[in-house]
Structure 1
Amino acid sequence: MNTKKIYPLFLNNIETQKEESLNDIKEYRVIISFDSVPERDNFLSKNKQLEIINKFDFIPAFCVGLQKDQILNFDNDDSIKQIEEDQRLYLSILEVNEILELDKYKKSQISYTGKNVQVGIVDNGINTNFQAISNVSRYQINKVDKDPSKISHGTLMASIIANQFKNIEDDYIGIAPDVKFTDFDVSNLTNDFYFSQILEVFDSIIKEDLEIDVLLISLTTSDPSDGKDILSLACNLLVDRGIIIVSPTGNYGPDSRTIGSPSAASKVISFGAVTKELFINPFSGKGPTLDERLKPDFCLPGSDVKIPLSDNLAVSVTGTSVAAAIGAGLIAIIKEFKTNYSYNALFEILKNSCKDLTLDKFSQGYGMPDIVEIFKKMNLFHERILPYNFLAKKAIKVSVEFAVLYIIIYLLFLLF
């Protein structure tokens, strides 16, 4: 079938769909995009019978339910730029033991912790009732009542990035504990997630001029992508505006070409997941993309990561979104040091710091970023100098211990 405007991957889906009967005609959630808002509005004025689900301005488009014959009919409309499915998205976390070790970095004199960096999380909401989380501004797309005890996927993502609990050495557990969050909550009563919901988030960011430095989109499609779908293209445009976008590769491995959207987008920094033994997790989405590009970009731990949420509650999580959240935290640290780093500059910094795990390039990407190596290359990494007060207290303790030992030896000499 020769078509002009239907996205090829979507065309393949509707051509292979078999309708069992006339009463079982499938309706597709479709996004129709245009070159400009006036062209979109003109099209809608001529097709007032359409029941529009949503409209978007950042990329001029609208979402609507259409049957196959309607889709094929609109394919002949010259004003339309592209017709594609409003693809469903899935959370990229698997089951809910081991914390990512950044001890060497935290013991150095580097003080970057994500201060003044705004991290947006597009997910099913952040539950701020847990002690592990702070500094959250909520931006709820759909008004849904929340269970105050629920451990949502977004809660786990925020806890990985900026966990407020401390370890026995009094260091924060979170990667970048001082970041501020914008919670782009796209949850709904049916727990369904679509392209159109994220496009709505993008519209809000642009229209309201929201300050976002790093945007974690922890959802991905189950179908692979060539990076030319509307969500991927919208992500690239948002990156051009200065926002760094991070996404997991999804949990649809181990086969190749299992990178979905938006991680297949050329300017989205995508992360696959490795085990604590530094092997690629079998579930981690693998490249290349459908148009043969290298993805994932990088890999990070995404297996059995322990997260304390309160004094009495800790969970362990596994999935590529864990790796992506860690990646977002590392990027936030770099952005605090250099707020005006472009996507290209930041990508090169990550790439040049990577530890090559000597695994398949379409599984590991360029390898695993090393935060210590990043700051060493900037000549900013130095071992922490112990403070005078600590050394003085240590000296007193050693002196007392030596004096006690001397007295014991002296008494033993007198007695025997």
Structure 2
Amino acid sequence: MKKLLLIITLLPVWAFSQNTIQDAWIYFSNKPEANNFIENPLTMLSQKALDRRIKQGISLDEKDAPIHASYYNEIKNTTGIQILAKSKWMNALHIQGTFEVISNLENKNFVSHIEFADKTLNSSGVSSRVKKNSKTFDASKKLETTENYNYGNATNQIEMLGGEKLHELGYTGSEMTIAVIDAGFPNVNNLDAFAYLRDNNKILGGYNFVNNSENFYMGNSHGTLVLSDIAGNVSNEFVGTAPNASFYLFITEDASQEMPIEESNWVQAVERADSLGVDVINTSLGYTEYDNPNYSYIYADMNGQTAFASRAADIAFSRGMILVTSAGNSGNDAWHYIGVPADAKNVFTIGAVDPNRNIANFSSFGPTSDGRIKPDVCAEGRNVYVIDAIGQIKTSNGTSFSSPVLCGVVACLWEAFPDKTNLEIMDLLRKSAHLYNNPTDQEGYGIPNITKILEENEIIQNTDLTIYPNPVKDYLKIKSASSQVDIKIFNVLGKKIMDKKFTNTPNGINLDILTSGIYIVRITDEKNKTTRKIIKE
């Protein structure tokens, strides 16, 4: 067999590939009109996306500009070439065609290089491909805003993380936008469990990149289950971890096959999420094996630098978002390790534990092939409660669900600390986890502890230092044993609006200078400190 393989590798590439349709990415050398777009940012990004960049001190760059139109059109009009997807961040198109036709495109002066999905066709190709397990999932009434939920069946999965403490403080995701990228969302448009989202216009939109259509309430029901762990609401029976967040729903995964186009679809969805101003993305998908084994990855590829989606994931992080991603379900399999895009350096990769905080044996192992700790942290993913596509509350298994359980908590935590960057929020969670000083290959840093974060940052409400009423019309009253307190007020973008010393009076502090909206108030006296979200009417 080894001799036979040797003979095959000595044959010229065209001998076996010249008539076979191949997947490839063609990269362009520049963006001639990039400066025009950068000078007019609203032609590329929404104001919400720009606000997220400004808040974190992130500048626009050439990656934000679209692919040059004439380059796109010239490739599109090339006989024998089909364009399947495009990425402005990568300045690349995902194309199909024969090896010969695709290779000839490299002669165009605006083409930087071409990468074939079959890495044996690249000049630095990898000669060995092995079979691996792929997807991390198995095809398997209006609620008033409140600070005290009856989580019902979902109690353990949020209390394990301490996420209910955020809800008690009023951080339920109301100021956050989450994108869920998955295989489909059937019945989210009519199930009672998602009525709160619909009645309050919390579903802002979405797209079906598989069918190139606006209908995202279709496809595999996996996405419906995933969304339920973040935003499902069944009174007294189930509440997700970010019940008041707003959502975009994107279908990128074709559950009937496993092809590289799904990575490119994912990149398109993440770019769309960025442009719309999304804060946090949940991805309960992962890739290692493709239907064409020549396209599959090997463990050496799990370095965050090889896979198209993983490279794009790091660009997404550089735009100021947090990407929460399933580690994978290969812990018991020959493959064993995390997949794509969970291997990306700046993706927040989530493993799974059972209700008793013990690691689930199916949860994929790290580290990455270049030695980085993955997964980052863990949440409940064995016997975790979900709401299925017919509205039933049931248990399921997979890092597909530990990821959204934690994703909602991430969004609420960021809402509590609006002046922190995406990296700072992720670091808070890692450092709070129970294995931070002794991370393992399967659990990473362990299970985060939101209560610990809130206590260490003195954000948990202290009964000796309180503010009221909330909502407030004019005067915000302060209860303190001290005669003088320091008060700082920030808008939701983290900009300081007020900073003054205040002497307690019966009337409180006049907020007439504030327009209606949501603000973060931080008050410090001689002994205590508290932070609260308030609504100015």
Partner of residue 239 from structure 1, selected from 283, 295, 317: 317
Measured against aligned partners, the alpha-carbon deviations of 1:303-340 in whole angstroms (never above 9, x if no partner) come to: 11122459972222211111111121110111211234
Given the superposition, is the C-alpha separation of residues 282 and 69 from structure 1 closer, same or farther in structure 2, using an over 3 Å criterion? farther
- 1:54 counterpart residue number: 85
Residue identity in the other structure for 2:92: A
1:15-414 → structure 2 map (5 Å cutoff): 26-37=20-31, 42=71, 45=74, 48-49=78-79, 50-67=81-98, 79-81=111-113, 83-85=115-117, 91-94=135-138, 99=154, 100-103=156-159, 106=164, 109-126=168-185, 127-133=188-194, 134=197, 135-140=202-207, 141=209, 142-143=212-213, 152-167=221-236, 173-186=239-252, 190=256, 194-206=262-274, 209-222=275-288, 223=297, 224=299, 225-228=302-305, 229-254=307-332, 258-308=337-387, 313-356=392-435, 361-381=440-460
8 Å contact kept, 2:226–2:386: no
Cα deviation for residue 64 of structure 1 reads 1.4
SS, match of residue 326 in structure 1: helix
Residue identity in the other structure for 2:180: I
Cα deviation for residue 84 of structure 1 reads 4.2
In structure 2, how many angstroms separate the alpha carbons of the residues matched to 1:258 and 1:144? Answer: 35
Cα deviation for residue 266 of structure 1 reads 0.5
Given the superposition, is the C-alpha separation of residues 178 and 28 from structure 1 closer, same or farther in structure 2, using an over 3 Å criterion? same
In structure 1, how many angstroms separate the alpha carbons of the residues matched to 2:10 and 2:95? Answer: 21
- 2:149 counterpart residue number: none
Cα deviation for residue 189 of structure 1 reads 8.6
SS, match of residue 112 in structure 1: coil
The range that moved more, 174-183 or 339-348, is 339-348
SS, match of residue 424 in structure 2: helix
Residue identity in the other structure for 2:170: S
Given the superposition, is the C-alpha separation of residues 146 and 231 from structure 1 closer, same or farther in structure 2, using an over 3 Å criterion? closer
Cα deviation for residue 89 of structure 1 reads 11
Measured against aligned partners, the alpha-carbon deviations of 1:115-153 in whole angstroms (never above 9, x if no partner) come to: 1110000112332322222222331233286787x8711
Cα root mean square deviation, aligned: 4.0
Residue identity in the other structure for 2:203: V
- Per the normalisation by structure 1, the TM-score is 0.74
In structure 1, how many angstroms separate the alpha carbons of the residues matched to 2:118 and 2:222? Answer: 22
Given the superposition, is the C-alpha separation of residues 188 and 362 from structure 1 closer, same or farther in structure 2, using an over 3 Å criterion? closer
SS, match of residue 441 in structure 2: helix
In structure 1, how many angstroms separate the alpha carbons of the residues matched to 2:17 and 2:340? Answer: 32
Residue identity in the other structure for 1:128: N
In structure 2, how many angstroms separate the alpha carbons of the residues matched to 1:116 and 1:317? Answer: 29
Measured against aligned partners, the alpha-carbon deviations of 1:249-290 in whole angstroms (never above 9, x if no partner) come to: 112223676221111111110001112233322222211212
In structure 2, how many angstroms separate the alpha carbons of the residues matched to 1:156 and 1:114? Answer: 19
8 Å contact kept, 1:215–1:244: yes
8 Å contact kept, 1:107–1:383: no
In structure 2, how many angstroms separate the alpha carbons of the residues matched to 1:194 and 1:89? Answer: 16
In structure 2, how many angstroms separate the alpha carbons of the residues matched to 1:309 and 1:91? Answer: 19
Measured against aligned partners, the alpha-carbon deviations of 1:165-219 in whole angstroms (never above 9, x if no partner) come to: 2437xxx62111111111112355946561111122234345xx30201011221
In structure 2, how many angstroms separate the alpha carbons of the residues matched to 1:28 and 1:98? Answer: 48
- 1:398 counterpart residue number: none
Measured against aligned partners, the alpha-carbon deviations of 1:330-358 in whole angstroms (never above 9, x if no partner) come to: 10111211234212201210011101299
In structure 2, how many angstroms separate the alpha carbons of the residues matched to 1:16 and 1:62? Answer: 30
> Identity over the aligned pairs, expressed in percent?
24
Residue identity in the other structure for 1:56: S
Given the superposition, is the C-alpha separation of residues 131 and 252 from structure 1 closer, same or farther in structure 2, using an over 3 Å criterion? same
> Per residue, is there more helix in 1 or in 2?
1
8 Å contact kept, 2:133–2:330: no
The range that moved more, 127-136 or 45-54, is 45-54
Cα deviation for residue 155 of structure 1 reads 0.9
8 Å contact kept, 1:355–1:367: yes
8 Å contact kept, 1:89–1:219: no
Cα deviation for residue 22 of structure 1 reads 6.1
SS, match of residue 286 in structure 2: strand
Cα deviation for residue 27 of structure 1 reads 3.1
8 Å contact kept, 1:86–1:196: no
Which consecutive residues of structure 2, in runs of 5 or more, have no partner in the other structure? 1-7, 33-66, 120-131, 141-151, 289-296, 465-537
Residue identity in the other structure for 2:304: G
How many residues align structurally?
A: 365
In structure 1, how many angstroms separate the alpha carbons of the residues matched to 2:165 and 2:82? Answer: 58
Residue identity in the other structure for 1:137: L
SS, match of residue 221 in structure 1: coil
Which consecutive residues of structure 1, in runs of 5 or more, have no partner in the other structure? 1-13, 386-416
8 Å contact kept, 1:30–1:85: yes
In structure 1, how many angstroms separate the alpha carbons of the residues matched to 2:457 and 2:263? Answer: 38
